[in-house]
Structure 1
Amino acid sequence: MTQTNRVSICHVAVGDLWAGAEVQLKVLLSKLVLRPDLNLSVILFNGGRLSEEIERLGIPVSVFPEDEWGSGKMLFELVRKFQRSDMKIIHTHKYKDTILAAPAAKLCGIPYVVRTVHGLREPFEGLEAFKMSLYESIERTVHRLCVNSIIGVSSQIERRYMAEGAVPRVVCIRNGIDLEKKPIQADRWLTRKELGVDAETCLIGTIGRLTPVKGLSYLLQAVPILLRQRANVRLLIVGDGVIRKDLEAQARDLGIGENVVFLGHREDTLELMQALDIFVLPSLSEGIPMALLEAMAASRAVVASRVGGIPEIVDDGVEGILVEPMDVTRLAESCLRLIDSPETAMKMGEQARKKVVQEFSATAMADRVAGLYKELVTSR
């Protein structure tokens, strides 16, 4: 296919984090870049890990430094960049990149804007809740005036934006995990030894940002219940964030400091995942969490909150156990059930792996996104 026949698509993202949405964007681009019919480029508002990962894929990346430029100059530079291009589709991913890049695209006559919604608004209170409501009002206006299609990563998100009615086309394309990469052959027992965990100890773990919406305070509250029933339990918390010190203080106050390990940010999360006996995700809000997909791909038994897109991934009692958010007693009971029945945990882990392979591959996700692009450019 000649260069002139390829559809030019620019992804625009804030890129200030390396978390679920950013990992998902990198996974998507790693598959889209293989398609001869697409010409990809990326604009990020921050340098860092995401920029580095995308550059490794051979995709051109432009960094528009938001901290230096401010919103006015950002909009001006986006317009200038778009005017000099032959882009047909701008694809945005979060609030800030959408309210800047979508209007810029329309000002420049770029035909189509696609926006992926990676999760619904996290719960806030007081002034923060008011601010988020204001942001959502601005976002709805931008959607109505500038966006042609919204991708929701879960059916819950799809229903929410279909009900809003601001955008002509809303579709559900669930997150995917790259199952084609060579699996890491981690030595489970060596990793556990490095962590100081013996074969008789049940290692429960979670991986993600340490923020209030992840519900880790409730997981810590469940640990004393577990210890009263089973002495050989350790909790591994992998990740960093704004509430790390608060969580560490809570663990000390609960008297479980010796049973909880805070590892901070780690690059070897897949190896750590394989060392776990049970993966727990006690979130208060989620889209389609990458950490959960990775745990299932590693055949780990999972206990997770019944929120967001999680019930679309885990059938309760089949691939794992679902609990209501903030239900500390049920969270502990579910972990105890898996501790007391290794056969059940193993069976659920096997079913979890099977589910991810069949329904959540990165290739299938990218094919659906590329299909949406094709529908848009051939609709006129």
Structure 2
Amino acid sequence: MSALLAPRLMFPVTAPAPATEPVRVCFMIDRLSRAGTETQLLALIRSLDRSRVQPTLVLLDGEDDLSRDLEPADCPVVRLGLRKLASANALAAARRLRTFWQQCRPEILQVYFTDSAYFGAPLAKMCGIRKVLRVRNNLGYWLTRRHRLLGKLVRPFVDLTLTNTDAGKQALVTRDGAAPDDVAVLENGVDTSRFKRFMLPDTSKKLVKVGCVANLRTVKNIDGLMRTAKAALAKHPQLLFEVAGEGEQRAQLERLHADLGLGDRFVLRGSVSDVPGFLRGVDIAVLPSHSEGMSNALLEYMAAGRAVIATDVGANAQLLDNGRCGVLVPSGDEAAIVSAIGALLANPLQAAGYGAAARRRVAAEYSREAMTKRFEAYYRNLVSRPA
């Protein structure tokens, strides 16, 4: 970090733009993947009205095939090849980034994840970028003391923090000491056009599929879902559980799968590129997470018109309209999920009603178009404020 603070890197790169020109926004993230934050970022970049916002994208690393394949075609992208901040090529990466910013002259830098914040925020201020925004869409469940200390050190270089839920803002204020006026809530959206082909769930069938879309990480509680499945199958043998997602817990979950004797009644499908297609085959969609911000998976469940069961964490209650569009259960309460599944099997009309209500709610309040307009208006208002 000390190398980045060297005075010779202080090169102003922006000038105030006329109000009629598009706002120049540079997004910065470690690399691209199909995880929730990266998916939302790519969706935002692709849907921005270029007459209102002109985006660019910086990847700290991004040299792997998946990240390259996901790069947006209509947005300038630079890969810095920087896998570790404390490395010999950090200064060269900083110089390359400075040159890129001299060319594209961003007015706003929006950074995601810790390394991008630590690297990009101080350098942006030295280069004269007017506003630095840091995005944190989780509730900070994973933060260590080291992360919190580094967060305090980088805070003077960050003008505003963006989060996607009121719960996220509350966590930033109470746990991280952020000033309320320095945190803005901009909610996610889902591309409802991908979910045009759908039928309401039918829990009266001889085979009822229970689906989950999640990365295989501890916070997503797929091990808890496996134990739930074991108990639910003992009461309702017509069930089939499927999980779409990949992650570092796969080996552990495969061992648990064998220990529980779930056989072909619980399937780890791995990464699924066609999430709408996967959800079309699901009747009940479960989100068993221990912690969430605004869950992209839950938005997709709702757009697909599924009967949803979700833990009451993060923005889940807000999205499900406090239980009017799906069933909310306490986090970690496997018995409550088993009970909720049983209730949906016993009342197919209620299951279909939840699916229809969820789909209407997403279309009205959480579409991709609504999300994009929120960000566009925010950016334009931000650069119109006095420096």
TM-score, scaled to structure 2: 0.86
Change in 2 beyond 3 A, CA 1:311/1:167: closer
Aligned-partner SS, 2:24: strand
1:25 matched to 2:37? The reply is no
Which letter maps to 2:162? I
Alignment match, 1:185: 197
What do residues 264-287 of structure 1 show as CA deviations (whole Å, max 9, x unaligned)? 112122111011010001001111
Match of 2:316 among 310, 315, 320: 310
Alignment partners' CA distance in 1, 2:298 and 2:86: 36
Q: How does 1:206-225 map to 2 (within 5 A)?
A: 206-225=212-231
Q: Name the amino acid aligned to 1:43.
A: V
Q: CA deviation at 1:351?
A: 0.7
Q: Is the 8 A contact 1:149 1:167 kept in 2?
A: no
Taking a change above 3 Å as real, the CA distance of residues 327 and 343 of structure 1, as seen in their structure-2 partners, is same
CA distance 1:359–1:3, change in 2 (3 Å): closer
Is 1:284 paired with 2:296? no
Contact 2:164 2:294 in 1 (8 A): yes
Contact 1:114 1:148 in 2 (8 A): yes
Q: Does 1:140 align with 2:157?
A: no
Aligned partner of residue 210 in structure 1, secondary structure = coil
Deviation at 1:202, TM superposition (A): 1.2
Q: Report whether the alignment pairs 1:117 with 2:136.
A: yes
Q: Which residue of 2 aligns with 1:11?
A: 27
Confirm or deny that 1:67 pairs with 2:83: yes
Counterpart residue identity of residue 136, structure 2: V
Q: 1:364 aligns with which of 366, 370, 384?
A: 370
* Equivalence for 1:126: none
Q: Which residue number corresponds to residue 159 of structure 1? A: 170
Q: Does the alignment pair 1:344 with 2:358? A: no
Match of 2:267 in 1: 261
Equivalent AA in structure 1 for residue 353 of structure 2: K
Partner Cα distance (2:20, 2:68) in 1 = 26
Greater length-normalized contact order (CA 8 Å, ≥ 6 residues apart): 2
Gaps of at least 5 residues in structure 1 are 124-128, 190-197
Distance 1:188 1:37, change over 3 A: closer
Quick one: structure 1 residues 114 and 214, their matched pair in 2 at CA, closer, same or farther if it must change by over 3 Å?
same
Identity of aligned residues (%): 27
Q: Supply the AA of the counterpart residue of 2:253.
A: L
Give per-residue Cα distances to partners, 1:83-107, cap 9 Å, x unaligned: 4542111111211111111111001
For residues 195 and 346 of structure 2, the distance between their equivalents in structure 1, rounded to whole angstroms, comes to 29
5 Å-filtered alignment, 1:27-176, equals 27-32=43-48, 34-45=49-60, 46-47=62-63, 48-56=65-73, 58-67=74-83, 72-73=90-91, 74-123=93-142, 132-143=144-155, 145-163=156-174, 164-165=177-178, 168-176=181-189
2:209·2:282 contact (CA, 8 Å) conserved in 1? yes
- Please give the alpha-carbon distance, in whole angstroms, between the structure 2 residues aligned to 1:250 and 1:244: 10
How far residue 16 of structure 1 moved from its aligned partner, in angstroms, is 4.7
Q: CA deviation at 1:372?
A: 1.6
Report the secondary structure of 2:241's partner residue: strand
2:75 alignment partner, SS class: coil
- Give me the whole-angstrom Cα distance separating, in 1, the residues matched to 2:135 and 2:327: 28
Correspondence 1:244 to 2:250:
yes
- Residue identity in the other structure for 1:178: D
**C-alpha distance in structure 1 between counterparts of 2:341 and 2:199, whole Å:** 24
In the alignment, residue 37 of structure 1 is paired with which amino acid? R
Q: 1:149 to 1:315 in 2, by over 3 A?
A: same
Would the aligned equivalents of 1:93 and 1:118 in 2 still touch at CA under 8 Å?
no
Matched AA of 1:101: G
Code of the aligned partner of 1:312: Q
Letter in 1 for 2:169: E
User: Any idea what SS the aligned residue of 1:28 has?
Assistant: helix
**In the alignment, residue 321 of structure 1 is paired with which amino acid?**
V
Give the unaligned 5+ runs of structure 2: 1-16
**Which secondary structure does the structure 2 equivalent of 1:185 belong to?**
coil
